[in-house]
């Protein structure tokens, strides 16, 4: 039943609220971690919602959330049935919902990277080795992204601890959490923090769009590759939407080929993913004490 028609009937009193509630339950709802500015996310994922609605022949709705933790909670509580998670948030969500699966990842997500960036006033020059930057980084101010971010917190913290043998609070004079990658970039560019860590895709897209003052900020180090973002779906969707629905969602995501929509991620396409692909992320999170 189309939602527009349903609302029309409600307005004329031809259908009860109990039936409306049941129809709402049959709407396929998804969310995404808020890793960039909300305006960009709403534009991107409304496009995904329109695409999925056409492919799946069900009502599809995207709902934004305010934090990584909120995305995980919405998935756990079945407020959403599908989510675009980062590596860590996906691991956290699947631990909470039996039968949930990672079903697709971006081509670029097999080998993701974090960029360490620095305000040029620091005088820190790019290096192929984080270890060689220890003396220049020590005592500087540093911002991660969200506390639940794989590329903005988990992996950069792992490499800081692994390289320097100390927690970030011991290496830097002040450590912050910006909340998202775009904000990390702006804070370091402005000199509010001297150094930061962010998703390489955000840097590359902002650079290509001419949105970075390269006289004020530059990349100083790139992490080794690791698996990151993925689409994760609840294991009970077939019970709600019919046999084979999970496979249909997977197929639709893997066949998404709209150039403008892919560019908005930005990804060149989507490929199959599985829970096992993110075992290195789980082990890293356990290693530094984010997961038990």
Average pLDDT, the chain: 91
Q: Which position has the higher pLDDT, 130 or 8?
A: 130
State the CB neighbour count (10 A cutoff) for residue 101: 19
pLDDT for residue 55? 97
* pLDDT higher than threshold 60 for residue 17: no
Q: Is residue 82 in a domain?
A: yes
Token pair belonging to 150: 């794989």
Is there a contact between 201 and 185 (Cβ–Cβ < 8 Å)? no
pLDDT tens for 245-255 read 999 999 999 99
Is there a contact between 290 and 115 (Cβ–Cβ < 8 Å)? no
**pTM assigned to the model:** 0.81
Please classify residue 242 by burial: count the beta carbons closer than 10 Å to its beta carbon, then call 0-12 exposed, 13-18 middle and 19+ buried.
exposed
d(CA 109, CA 189): 26
pLDDT tens for 139-149 read 999 999 999 89
pLDDT for residue 99? 97
d(CA 13, CA 284): 55
* pLDDT higher than threshold 80 for residue 106: yes
User: Cis omega before residue 202 (within 30°)?
Assistant: no
d(CA 87, CA 113): 12
d(CA 215, CA 212): 9
pLDDT for residue 276? 96
Taking residues 124-136, what's their average pLDDT? 96
95 and 158, same domain (yes or no): no
pLDDT for residue 292? 82
Q: Is residue 288 in a domain?
A: no
Which residue range(s) make up the domain with 209?
113-222
Q: Is residue 8 in a domain?
A: no
Q: How many structural domains compose the chain?
A: 2
Q: How far are the Cα atoms of 162, 252, 263, 267 from residue 258, in angstroms, in the given order?
A: 40, 12, 9, 11
CATH number at residue 89: 3.40.190.10
94 and 237, same domain (yes or no): yes
Helix (H, G, I), strand (E, B) or coil at 60: strand
106 and 232, same domain (yes or no): yes
State the CB neighbour count (10 A cutoff) for residue 17: 8
176 and 97, same domain (yes or no): no
The sheet carrying 101-106 orders its strands as: 60-62, 28-32, 82-85, 230-233, 101-106, 270-272
Taking residues 243-271, what's their average pLDDT? 96
d(CA 225, CA 205): 18
Is there a contact between 75 and 232 (Cβ–Cβ < 8 Å)? yes
Lowest mean per-residue pLDDT among 36-40, 194-198, 227-231: 36-40
146 and 202, same domain (yes or no): yes
84 and 23, same domain (yes or no): yes
213 and 139, same domain (yes or no): yes
Q: Is residue 103 in a domain?
A: yes
pLDDT tens for 179-189 read 999 999 999 99
pLDDT for residue 37? 82
222, 240, 267 - which closes a domain: 222
pLDDT for residue 18? 36
Q: Is residue 218 in a domain?
A: yes
Longest dimension (CA), the chain: 72
pLDDT for residue 101? 98
Q: Is residue 255 in a domain?
A: yes
d(CA 111, CA 274): 15
State the CB neighbour count (10 A cutoff) for residue 235: 14
273 and 175, same domain (yes or no): no
State the CB neighbour count (10 A cutoff) for residue 130: 19
Q: Is residue 135 in a domain?
A: yes
Taking residues 138-161, what's their average pLDDT? 95
Q: How far are the Cα atoms of 19, 160, 223, 245 from residue 33, in angstroms, in the given order?
A: 31, 24, 22, 23
Position 21 confidence tier, pLDDT thresholds 50, 70, 90: very low
70 and 214, same domain (yes or no): no
User: For the chain, what's the residue count?
Assistant: 292
Is there a contact between 171 and 164 (Cβ–Cβ < 8 Å)? yes
pLDDT tens for 35-78 read 888 888 999 999 999 999 999 999 999 999 999 999 999 999 99
Closest CA to 137 of 152, 151, 122: 122
pLDDT for residue 35? 84
């Amino acid at each position: 039943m189309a939602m527009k028609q349903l609302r029309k009937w409600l307005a004329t009193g031809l259908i009860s609220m109990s039936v409306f509630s049941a129809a709402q339950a049959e709407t396929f709802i998804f969310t995404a971690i808020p890793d960039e500015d909300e305006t960009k996310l709403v534009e991107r994922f409304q496009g995904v919602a329109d695409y999925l609605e056409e492919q799946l022949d069900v009502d599809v709705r995207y709902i934004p959330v305010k934090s990584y933790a909120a995305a995980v909670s919405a998935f756990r509580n079945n407020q959403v049935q599908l989510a675009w998670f980062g590596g860590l948030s996906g691991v956290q969500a699947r631990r909470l919902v039996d039968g949930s699966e990672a079903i697709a990842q971006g081509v670029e997500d097999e080998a993701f990277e974090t960029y360490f960036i620095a305000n040029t006033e620091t005088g820190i020059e790019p290096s192929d080795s984080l270890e060689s930057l220890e003396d220049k980084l020590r005592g500087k101010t540093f911002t991660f992204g969200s506390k639940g971010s794989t590329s903005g917190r988990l992996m950069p913290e792992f490499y800081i601890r692994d390289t320097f043998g100390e927690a970030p609070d011991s290496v830097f004079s002040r450590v912050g959490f910006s909340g998202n990658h775009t904000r990390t970039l702006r804070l370091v560019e402005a000199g509010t923090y001297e150094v930061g860590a962010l998703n390489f895709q955000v840097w590359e897209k902002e650079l290509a769009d001419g949105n970075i003052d390269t006289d004020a900020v530059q990349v100083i180090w790139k992490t080794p590759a690791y698996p990151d973002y993925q689409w994760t779906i609840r294991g009970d969707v077939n019970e709600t939407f019919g046999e084979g629905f999970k496979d249909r969602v997977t197929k639709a995501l893997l066949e998404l080929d709209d150039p403008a929509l892919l560019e908005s991620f930005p990804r060149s396409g989507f490929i199959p993913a599985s829970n096992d692909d993110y075992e290195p992320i789980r082990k890293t999170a356990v290693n530094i004490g984010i997961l038990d």
